[in-house]
Amino acid sequence: MKELLVSLDLELNQPSRRIIQIGAVVGNIRTGEIVSRFDSKVSPDEELSPAIAKLTKIKQQEVDVAPKLREAYESLKRWLEPFAGERVLNPITWGGGDTETLREQLQLDRERWLFGRRWLDAKTLFVAWRMAQGRELQGGLGRSMTKLGLAFEGRQHNAIDDAENTFRIYRALLFEFGKAPSAMMTKKVTHIRQRVRKV
């Protein structure tokens, strides 16, 4: 089984939603080790929204000298080449929009797309886990991590840090779901024993 997964995150300017940063990590889902990191600012060919500059801490000067989106994507492809035979094709994201946003802004058809036709949505997985527990569903990535006993590492709204923490919460959720069958079996056995006692 392939153990390497890519976690991908984007930062976007507003209101245009043009990409201004691509962050990605390759992580080993079994060991939790981050094998490699990719971080690139992207020129949106426009002024940054003051609110986005404040939120992301990305400066106008940084994007003014940053590569265009196509060039940044080609760098991303070269970075991933050594892992081609070892990684799962579909990337992990927090919410489903980032891979589609990247593909659409690049104007690529699905046949030439780097990440296949699907993605692994850690946010949806988290919501399913909370629903199974009968708990509240609200919370962004950082707050959601606390529900699993994790602390966000780095700075939120920085694509490379968000990508790494998305990998961490996805891995933690897989372990939580891995516990579920045995927990359910314990409840079922307890219920059967209670019925037997009543009889």
Query: Residue 187: what pLDDT?
Result: 44
pLDDT at 11 over 70: yes
Alpha helices by DSSP H, listed for 68-158, are 69-80, 97-106, 122-133, 141-146
- Say how many C-beta atoms besides its own lie within 10 A of residue 193's C-beta: 10
Which single residue is written with the structure tokens 């939580």?
176
Q: Are 41 and 23 in contact (CB under 8 A)?
A: no
Total-model pTM = 0.87
CA distances 98 to 11, 163, 197, Å, are 9, 11, 54
Name the residue among 144, 143, 141, 168 with its Cα closest to residue 157. 141
DSSP character at residue 111: G
Which single residue is written with the structure tokens 């080609």?
74
**59: which residues sit within 8 A by CB, 6+ positions away?**
48, 53
Task: For residue range 83-132, list pLDDT tens digits in order.
Answer: 998 999 899 999 978 999 999 999 987 667 888 888 999 999 999 999 98
DSSP readout, 112-124?
A: G-TT-S--EEHHH
Query: Residue 111: what pLDDT?
Result: 61
CA distance 176 to 128: 11
